[in-house]
Amino acid sequence: MGSPKKNENKGFFAAMTSGFSMFGSAMSRSVNGLLAYEGVEVINPDGGKEDAEEEAQRGRWKDEERDSYWKMMQKYIGSDITSMVTLPVIIFEPMTMLQKMAELMEYSYLLDQADECEDPYLRLVYASSWAISVYFAYQRTWKPFNPILGETYEMANHGGISFLSEQVSHHPPMSAGHAENEHFTYDVTSKLKTKLLGNSVDVYPVGRTRVTLKKDGVVLDLVPPLTKIHNLIFGRTWVDSPGEMVMTNITTGDKVVLYFQPCGWFGSGRYEVDGYVYSADEEPKIMMTGKWNEKISYQPCDAEGEPLPGTELKEVWHVADVPKNDKFQYTHFAHKINSFDTAPSKLLASDSRLRPDRYALEQGDLSKAGSEKHSLEERQRAEKRTRETKGQKFTPRWFDLTDEITSTPWGDIEIYQYNGKYTEHRDSAASSSGASNAEDLKSIEFNPWQYGNVSTE
């Protein structure tokens, strides 16, 4: 498969000349000697308009908090910190990773359109635009809560979609999810891998995402780019996802390759996405361009990747309106995810909405959120010790571990598959009595430990 030609005469890809090398050298400004921190760099997405010391003092941290947190984190530099560090609640948003997985469903209508589309290449335009759409939400600089083993999240009342996710492993942290409506099924197994680089962290999306379009039985596979979180402690925290996204129609061999441009000098290239839809014989068919924080457009092209005469760019997706001055930069859909209005009438006690630390943070009580988070973590450790003492093994309730192992650019991952048992449970619960309105649902005590299947090893 050929890559898009990086010719300055081709307007769509002129921005690609910024390159990855500029990202590492032109924007990095050391604060050594100014703040007495060795090896710390502050990367300004605006291109270095202020001096390093002034830029480093920006952000959410108070000086005393910044100092103590930097001392704590230094020993983890170069390590995967996904489940190693007890992090302060000040950096969290009132959402768990299981809920964040559901944010891919905001623009699910694009998958509906992909399913209905007769053109196999335009189908990939719709489906890949769906995959891009979530990056607007992912630019939030707050960290979601790590789910408790056995924790779940379910979303209903959204475009006919049923969505369920479950924390299937604690070490390493792994989540599995399943969504479905009349047009598609969505299955994901996710195992985040991180590398702390001092004042920044690389997040590698080790996982497998599969979408099955029901009309023709087409199966799509998605490999997203990594994500870089800059200025964790010093400076204004911001997110970038430089690299390549590939979505493959594994039924036909067609694919789309999209390049997320790295943020360059004075912010050049930031947010930009360019690429092509290719046929199975690697011939470009449709060019795609846009910004992941604004919109994506497409245009048919010739074998050289040039726009076909008589055609024009057409918009396929754009960001929906968002709340103004939202504390956590939430979209309307993110608020919907946290709402009990999107919960089923018989909510599992293991649902993320019910976490007391998440709810306290949502209410603005950081002190209570911190103590509740600590309490949940201690209870999880105690539950693990009890299981190990009894020689018991935890297995998820709604997802089964398969024999399949998938390779990704960042490592292998074991695959969990939705087992269909929750559909049976939901249908049975629908005819029983119990909590059925928002106030009743809020009163359910959070308890993820009762749902896992525990057996003697």
Average pLDDT over residues 238-254: 96
Query: Is the predicted pLDDT of residue 75 greater than 90, yes or no?
Result: no
What letter represents residue 323's amino acid?
A: P
Q: Residue 384 corresponds to which tokens in the numbers above?
A: 């693990």
- The pTM assigned to this predicted structure is 0.89
Where is average pLDDT lowest: 51-55, 201-205, 302-306, 430-434? 430-434
pLDDT at 12 over 50: no
Best CA proximity match to 111, nearest among 205, 185, 165, 177: 185
Confidence band for 452, pLDDT divided at 50, 70 and 90: low
Instruction: Place 23 in a pLDDT band, splitting at 50, 70 and 90.
Output: very low
Structure token digits, residue 110 = 């694009």
Instruction: Report pLDDT digits (tens) over 343-369.
Output: 998 899 999 999 999 999 999 999 999
Q: 346-376: b or e for each residue (b if 16 or more CB lie within 10 Å)?
A: bbbebbbbbbbbbbbbbeeeeebbbebbeeb
The more confidently predicted of residues 357 and 61 is 357
Residue 75 CB neighbours (<10 A): 11
Q: What is the mean pLDDT of residues 373-389?
A: 92
Q: What is the pLDDT of residue 131?
A: 97
Higher pLDDT, 203 or 266: 203
Domains of the chain in sequence order: 66-431 (2.40.160.120)
> Per mean pLDDT, which range of 105-109, 197-201, 218-222, 249-253 is the poorest?
197-201
- Are residues 454 and 394 in contact, defined by beta-carbon separation less than 8 angstroms? yes
- Tokens found for residue 231: 């200025």
Distance CA 197, CA 386 (A): 36
Condensed to tens digits (0 to 9), the pLDDT of residues 182-196 reads 999 999 999 988 898
Poorest-confidence range of 136-150, 280-294, 439-453? 439-453
Q: β-pairing, 174-180 with 184-196?
A: antiparallel
Exposure b/e, 237-271, CB count within 10 A at least 16 = b: bbbbbbbebbbbbeeeebbbbbbbbbbbeeebbbb
CA angle 121, 127, 131 (to 5 degrees): 135
pLDDT at 39: 66
* Res 25: pLDDT: 42
Q: What is the pLDDT of residues 300-341, one digit of tens each?
A: 999 999 999 999 999 999 999 999 999 999 999 999 999 999
Phi and psi torsions of 13, nearest 5°: -120, 15
Residues 200-224, mean pLDDT to the nearest whole number = 95
Q: 105-163 pLDDT, tens per residue?
A: 999 999 999 999 999 999 999 999 999 999 998 889 889 999 999 999 999 988 889 99
**3-class secondary structure for the chain?**
CCCCCCCCCCHHHHHHHHHHHHHHHCCEEECCCCCCCCCCEEECCCCCCCCHHHHHCCCCCCHHHHHHHHHHHHHHCCCCCCCCCCCCHHHEEEEEHHHHHHHHHCCCHHHHHHHHCCCHHHHHHHHHHHHHHCHHHHCCCCEEECCCCCCEEEEEEECCEEEEEEEEECCCCEEEEEEECCCEEEEEEEEEEEEECCCCEEEEEEEEEEEEECCCCEEEEEECCCEEEECCCCCCCEEECCEEEEEEECCCCCEEEEEECCCCHHHCCCCEEEEEEECCCCCEEEEEEEECCCEEEEEEECCCCCECCCCCCEEEEECCCCCCCCCCCCCHHHHHHHCHHHCCCCCCCCEHHHCHHHHHHHCCCHHHHHHHHHHHHHHHHHHHHHHHHCCEEEECCCEEEEEEEEEECCEEEEEEEECCHHHHHHHHHCCCCCCCCHHHHHCCCCCHHHCCEEEEC
Nearest to 225 by CA among 187, 174, 273, 172: 273
Average pLDDT, the chain: 86
What Cα–Cα distance (Å) separates residue 382 from each residue in 147, 376, 388? 16, 10, 10
CA atoms of 4 and 252, how far apart (whole Å): 21
Higher pLDDT, 423 or 415: 415
pLDDT of amino acid 31: 63
pLDDT at residue number 175 = 97
- Structure confidence at residue 187 (pLDDT): 98
Asked if residues 91 and 322 have their Cβ atoms less than 8 Å apart, the reply is no
Distances (CA, A) of 276 to 212, 291, 407: 21, 15, 24
Q: Taking 90 as the threshold, does the pLDDT of residue 49 lie above it?
A: no
pLDDT at 418: 97
Q: Give yes or no for a contact between 99 and 188, defined as CB atoms under 8 angstroms apart.
A: no
pLDDT > 90 fraction of the chain, expressed in percent and rounded: 61
Average pLDDT over residues 43-70: 77
